Structures are given as structure tokens and as C-alpha cells.
Amino acid sequence: MKSSRRKITFGTVVKWIFAVLAAGWLFCVLLLVALKWIDPPTTAVQTERRVQAMLQGKDYEKRYNFVPLKQISPNLQHAVVSSEDARFYQHHGFDWKAIQLAAQEDMEGGRMRGGSTLTQQLVKNLFFGTSRSFVRKGAEASLVPMAELILGKQRILELYLNVVEWGPGVFGVDAACHYHYKTSAHSLDRDRAARLVSVLPSPLKRKPERMNNYSAIVLRRMRQVGW
């Protein structure tokens, strides 16, 4: 009798867990539908940074100004795509070739190569923050195809450029351009765009003016893509 009760209790818990996960997933999908037309007022990463500052007793100022894609310099758009996700317009959310290369380099003990696409990074920024876990990866993987289907490439690029972290409390390209260069995202030239994009792998530590070698790599990738 006791064994039967335990099974029922365990089964009920499992059902509740799945129900909560399903509700959370559906909520994220509905948010993606809304984000097709509505600019996000905040993101998981922005909230995470604010909470971290509060817990550490540090001052925190968020710089975040959403601008339309047409107001973002093509130099910056091209630099981000060629550097972060060269096959952005060819894949459907996952770049399996990049993932394969990353896994191969990891197995060979070489330097880890990032295999995340812009879509994956956007989903992570919007919903999951910077934490890493298998559960988060699984949820992210299930939402990436939905983001591609609902938002489309141009909106994904627009959202990514506007929410990604570019420095301490600095989110989005317009805030980044004003913070680092005292100018708008519309007027960025190729060199400064390449330097700014070089900050993305470690935005809390890197500064554009120090990115000579990395920016040269970004410029080379832009030429290789055809930009």
C-alpha cells in the first residue's frame, strides 16, 4: 500500500514538473510572438546584471536605447554577422558545421570555438541570462526554431544588436556607440565597427581601443564574406 502511494506521489510530481516546464515554454513562445512587433523593455541578462550589482552593493547604471535596424550602420551589421555567425542567412537557427568544428577542437584539446548562432545568443539573452546548464541548453534549443519561425532573420538581427551586452551596464549598439565612441550607431565606420564587435566575447573586460589584433580578424572575415 505504501509502495503504491509513493508511485502515485512520484507520478504526480513528475506531471507537475512537466506542466510547469510546458507552461514556461509556452510563455516564452508567446513573448516571441509579441517581440515580433514590440521592443523588449528588458532582458534576462539585464535583470541578472542589476541583481548582481545589488547583491554586491555596487552602483549600477543601465544604458539601453532600442533603435530600428535601419538606424544601425551596415558596417556594424556586417561586422557582427561575419564575426559571430557567418552563415546567419543560410541556417535555420543552428549552424551544424560550426558546432561540429567546436566539438572537434574540444576533443583535440584545442581552443574552444563558439558554435552559437545569433539566434541562439538572442534566445539566451532574452530568457536565460549567462548561467550554463543542460536544462537551459535544452530549453534554448527548443526555442531557437520557434524564434526563427516567428521573428524572421531581420527582426532577429535587429533584436540581437539591440539587447546584446557591450560593456558594464551597456546594452544594444546605440548605447555602445555612445558609451565607447560618443556617437550614434548610424554613423559607425568599418574600423570602429570591427573594434566594437571584437568586444562581444568578453564585454565586461574588453575595450575597443585595445582590439587591434581582433579587429583585424573581423575586417578580414568581412572581406571573406563579401562585405
CA distance 88 to 94: 9
Burial grade of 203 (CB within 10 A; 0-12, 13-18, 19 or more): middle
Is there a contact between 122 and 147 (Cβ–Cβ < 8 Å)? yes
Is there a contact between 30 and 146 (Cβ–Cβ < 8 Å)? no
Q: What does the block give as the cell for 226? A: 563579401
Q: What is the number of structural domains in the chain?
A: 1
Contacts of 218 (CB under 8 A, 6+ apart): 79, 82, 83, 194, 197, 198
Question: What confidence score (pLDDT) does residue 103 get?
Answer: 53
Residues 120-153: pLDDT tens digits?
999 999 999 988 878 778 888 999 999 999 999 9
Per the model's pLDDT, the better-predicted residue between 134 and 103 turns out to be 134
Closest CA to 58 of 50, 46, 66: 50
Per the model's pLDDT, the better-predicted residue between 84 and 4 turns out to be 84
Average pLDDT over residues 182-199: 93
Question: What confidence score (pLDDT) does residue 31 get?
Answer: 96
Per the model's pLDDT, the better-predicted residue between 163 and 25 turns out to be 163
In this prediction the pTM is: 0.87
Say what percent of the chain tops pLDDT 90: 67
Is the pLDDT at 4 greater than 50? The verdict is no
Closest CA to 142 of 94, 81, 72: 94
Question: What confidence score (pLDDT) does residue 171 get?
Answer: 97
Domain span holding position 216 = 2-225
Is the pLDDT at 216 greater than 90? The verdict is yes
Contacts of 112 (CB under 8 A, 6+ apart): 102, 105, 106
Question: What confidence score (pLDDT) does residue 217 get?
Answer: 94
190 Cα distance to chain centroid: 22
Q: If pLDDT is split at 50, 70 and 90, which confidence band does 24 have? A: confident
Q: What is the CATH number of the domain that holds 166?
A: 1.10.3810.10
Residues 43-92: pLDDT tens digits?
999 999 999 999 999 989 999 999 999 999 999 999 999 999 999 999 98
Q: If pLDDT is split at 50, 70 and 90, which confidence band does 100 have? A: low
Is the pLDDT at 175 greater than 70? The verdict is yes
